[in-house]
Amino acid sequence: MNYSERYVRQIGFEDIGEAGQKLISSHHALVLGCGGLGSVSAELLVRMGIGHLTLVDRDVVEMSNLNRQSLFTESDAKHGIPKAVAAENMLKQINTTIDIDSCVDDVTRFNVEDYIKSADVIVDGTDNFTTRYLINEACVKHNRTWIYGSCGETYGMVTTIIPGVTPCFSCLFEHHREEHEAITSETAGIINPIVHLIASIQCAEVLKLIINRHDLLNSGVLSIDLWRNSYENIHFASINKEKRCPVCNYHQFDYLDGRYGIAYASPYGSNGVQINPFTEMKLDIDDLSTRINEKQLISSNKYVVRFLEQDYEILLFYNGRSIVKGTTDIGIARGLIDKYLK
């Protein structure tokens, strides 16, 4: 396959050219979360020719994802394929020259640094502020640039965070954490144009970083509401820095060190619980599938078995991680899965 032919339109853009395209192909991007923003960003990065792409996501494809998550199909949803795996499968059909790694994993304080350290740039595709605080601390600690993005309903936000240069995520979102957490696509709904727009801006920022056009990076937090035609950029210069940030000024890492956040059990959406195992384990998915009543079984593959138990939907992953939908009670969730982990 002719390298120049594939990227001829991109190379034709003066700011990129042959030299810029070579830089793109030499970089490693990490996409954390392969939902709306992450799936679109991953596709754009692969089409632009990023050299190495790592995808990390904890979830499986569901029908409700298909209105905005462009890499997935009805078949992926029917068979409960993990998003990271389904994304890799599709992306490899788009560009066979890219080195792609998919990781069916939850981002926690125990693994986030390993993921962050291996990448040149990180794209945020996560869906909660707790994980973003964790990503922010790891990026500050290891001096990695990341592009924050979020969206819900018809609006979205995006900003590029460069440790030591721009305010960090904790500087920008120090207050009203609970208020931010409450707004998700699950609770408020979402239209797909805002997802694709925010992800496109994130990837444009990645391009600028890679080809060393830092002078063109957005110098603030861009907020867009497509429904009301509102575009606002809150410049970093206007952010009050009199109160010194404990993360970027003093390297106080409360989430990495476990002082905030939940290590083993955490909310999942508005009516679910995710539980991580206390010790490393590897489950026999085939054995689990045979132990589940046929009428309860929804889907099973080598990564996860999905089934009904009483009035709850349970996902058990090969590494012992579980998701229980239909309750926010950690005790109930643990009780439901304990018998399958023995």
Report the distance separating Cα 97 and Cα 52, nearest Å.
10
Token pair listed for 266: 């955490």
Residue 204: phi and psi, rounded to 5, are: -65, -40
pLDDT in tens, 136-156: 999 999 999 999 999 999 999
CATH topology of domain 3-238: Rossmann fold (3.40.50)
Q: Which of 76, 39, 75 is nearest to 55 (CA)?
A: 39
Element (H, E) at 46: helix 36-48
Please answer whether residues 23 and 210 qualify as being in contact, where contact means their C-beta atoms are separated by less than 8 angstroms: yes
Q: Which of 59, 53, 51 is nearest to 34 (CA)?
A: 59
Element (H, E) at 192: helix 192-210
Q: Give the pLDDT of the chain (342 residues) as one tens digit per residue.
A: 466 789 999 999 999 999 999 999 999 999 999 999 999 999 999 999 999 999 999 999 999 999 999 999 999 999 999 999 999 999 999 999 999 999 999 898 889 999 999 999 999 999 888 899 999 999 999 999 999 999 999 999 999 999 999 999 999 887 544 444 445 566 578 999 999 999 999 999 999 999 999 999 998 999 999 999 999 998 887 665 556 889 988 999 998 988 776 557 778 888 899 988 766 678 888 888 888 888 889 999 999 999 998 889 999 998 888 999 999 888 888 888 877 776
Dihedral angle, C-alpha 250, 256, 262, 267, nearest 10 °:
90
Please answer whether residues 222 and 157 qualify as being in contact, where contact means their C-beta atoms are separated by less than 8 angstroms: yes
- pLDDT for 179: 41
Please answer whether residues 57 and 37 qualify as being in contact, where contact means their C-beta atoms are separated by less than 8 angstroms: no
pLDDT in tens, 47-77: 999 999 999 999 999 999 999 999 999 999 9
* Amino acid identity, position 216: L
Please answer whether residues 283 and 318 qualify as being in contact, where contact means their C-beta atoms are separated by less than 8 angstroms: yes
Burial of 279 (0-12, 13-18, 19+ CB in 10 A): exposed
Q: Which of 119, 122, 107, 99 is nearest to 58 (CA)?
A: 107
- pLDDT for 207: 98
Token pair listed for 12: 């034709």
Residue with the two structure tokens 């922010």: 136
